Amino acid sequence: MTKYLLGAASVIALTLLAACGNTATPEKEGAKAAAGEYERGPHRGRMLRDGNFALEITIFEDGVDPEFRVYAYRDDKPVKPGEVQLTMELVRLGNKIDKFAFAPQDDFLRGNGVVTEPHSFDVRVQASEGGRNHKWAYQSYEGRTTITPEAAKAGGIKIETAGAATVSELIDMGGRVEVTPEGRAEVRARLPGLIVSLSGKIGQQVRRGQVLARVESSHSLQVYTITAPISGTIVEKNVNVGDTTGDRALFAIADPTNLHAEFFVYPRDAERVRVGQPVMLKSLSGEGTIESVVEAVVPTADVASQTLLAHVHLPRVAARTFRPGMAVEGSFAVAQANVPLAVRTKAIQRFRDFEVVFAKVGNTYEVRMLEIGRRTPEWTEVLGGLEPGTQYVSDGAFLIRADIDKSGASHDH
């Protein structure tokens, strides 16, 4: 499996069509930079040149929301910001355009809005000074890559649409699988007597009504049969031929498909666990999972631990994975809320200091920095950073992240 994933990541890397970074392609720039590089000014910003006039573009985000601060130069000497008229457009993935006007402040021109994340866009700049007009255009990408449909399919990348979902508040508890009281029966003799034959054996599968033993009555000396009261597996055998029956059980039968899970509910959670609440159960190995509901909460607390016992129903199909006595984990949905926007929790990745998903537009994928609300193993509420209806990567997101990391995506301005 590991070899396959690495191979898929390599395929994606080879099909990268658009590099991530800050490769400049200005309409007018006095000095052309090598791919992925550009001239930096005194404030470590990008230099745009046209003849003897130049602008230094910076995004300032030290203690404030990200904003453009632009410095003007003529013959490499500072120009008063009041002598320059400046506008800028950011064309984002999906052709959304952010427009900025600029006003003088101190020794720079300040943009009139926040430069929202991600800082990934095609930039168009127009400036006027001294009766001259200037235009530049360049690309400034981060967290973006382009992947062919064939490579995406080979990498197991799947897409979903961000929208409304039901997000649950969960309480996690440990428990164990047990046969239900209805799924267990003890087999006893109707009359005292001598056991003359036994056909039941430990581990034997039996049907309801099947003969398990024959007993000679001590009173009538007549032989009568003892049959299985339920279908299931013989889990206990307490007698042999020649024994007398007495009051003890001859056999115990359990139906391994008639199961429930028992959970000890601590006092702090007792008031929140209710019959009918959804529960996600999984084995400790993580290989078996199943959704069910709380079928009963035993109201009597254990004297020593002060815990209550919650029973969670297991359908018969669960017997393929869950066995009596097996330890399980349960996530109890004690409260649920319908939220207008959520994404699959498994889709979320780390990028810089953000939790992100990767939006898909055509064959291009790009980070979306999320403001996150409630979170469950299945869904995470999104409070900001993503628009409803956005297509995003739900499976294979780590391959997109690896491809972006490999291509050298940066947060550099």
Position 77 scores a pLDDT of: 97
Which domains, from first to last, does the chain contain?
22-140 (2.60.40.3340), 146-168+338-407 (2.40.420.20), 170-179+257-335 (2.40.30.170), 182-254 (2.40.50.100)
> pLDDT confidence of 7, banded at 50, 70, 90?
very low
At residue 1, does pLDDT exceed 80? Answer: no
> Which position has the higher pLDDT, 27 or 198?
198
Secondary-structure percent of the chain, ordered helix, strand, coil, rounded to 5: 10, 50, 40
Are residues 259 and 235 in contact, defined by beta-carbon separation less than 8 angstroms? Answer: no
What distance lies between CA 75 and its chain's CA centroid? 54
Are residues 370 and 387 in contact, defined by beta-carbon separation less than 8 angstroms? Answer: no
> pTM surpassing 0.85?
no
Average pLDDT over residues 395-406: 89
Rounded to 10 degrees, what is the CA torsion of 10, 38, 50, 31? -100
Name the 3-class secondary structure at 332: strand
Position 321 scores a pLDDT of: 87
The β-bridge partners of 381 are 342
The residue to which tokens 């649920």 are assigned: 336
> pLDDT confidence of 16, banded at 50, 70, 90?
very low
Give yes or no for a cis peptide into 118 (omega within 30° of 0).
Answer: yes
Strand segments (E) across 278-348:
278-283, 289-298, 308-314, 327-344
Two tokens, residue 123: 């930039």
Q: What is the pLDDT of residues 290-305, one digit of tens each?
A: 899 999 998 887 777 7
Name the 3-class secondary structure at 397: helix
Q: What is the pLDDT of residues 221-265, one digit of tens each?
A: 999 999 999 999 999 999 999 999 988 899 999 999 999 999 989
Distance between CA atoms of residues 200 and 215, nearest Å:
13
Position 409 scores a pLDDT of: 53
Distance between CA atoms of residues 313 and 260, nearest Å:
5
At residue 14, does pLDDT exceed 60? Answer: no
Position 130 scores a pLDDT of: 92
Two tokens, residue 376: 């469950």
At residue 27, does pLDDT exceed 90? Answer: no
At residue 83, does pLDDT exceed 90? Answer: yes
CA distance readout (Å), 276 to 100, 334, 393 = 54, 10, 33
Position 408 scores a pLDDT of: 59
The β-bridge partners of 217 are 193
Rounded to 10 degrees, what is the CA torsion of 158, 164, 168, 174? -10
At residue 284, does pLDDT exceed 90? Answer: no
What residues contact residue 233 under an 8 Å CB cut-off, 6+ apart?
Answer: 203, 204, 205, 206, 253, 254, 255, 256
Average pLDDT over residues 394-407: 88
Share of the chain above pLDDT 70, in %: 90
At residue 149, does pLDDT exceed 90? Answer: yes
Distance between CA atoms of residues 70 and 110, nearest Å:
7
Average predicted confidence (pLDDT) for the chain: 87
At residue 131, does pLDDT exceed 50? Answer: yes
CA distance readout (Å), 104 to 57, 83, 108, 413 = 14, 9, 6, 20
Distance between CA atoms of residues 411 and 413, nearest Å:
7
The residue to which tokens 């400046």 are assigned: 86
Average pLDDT over residues 351-368: 94
Q: How many C-beta atoms lie closer than 10 Å to residue 328's C-beta? A: 22
Question: According to DSSP H, which parts of 172-302 are helical?
Answer: 267-270
Are residues 264 and 175 in contact, defined by beta-carbon separation less than 8 angstroms? Answer: yes
Task: Give the DSSP H/E element, type plus range, for residue 237.
Answer: strand 232-237
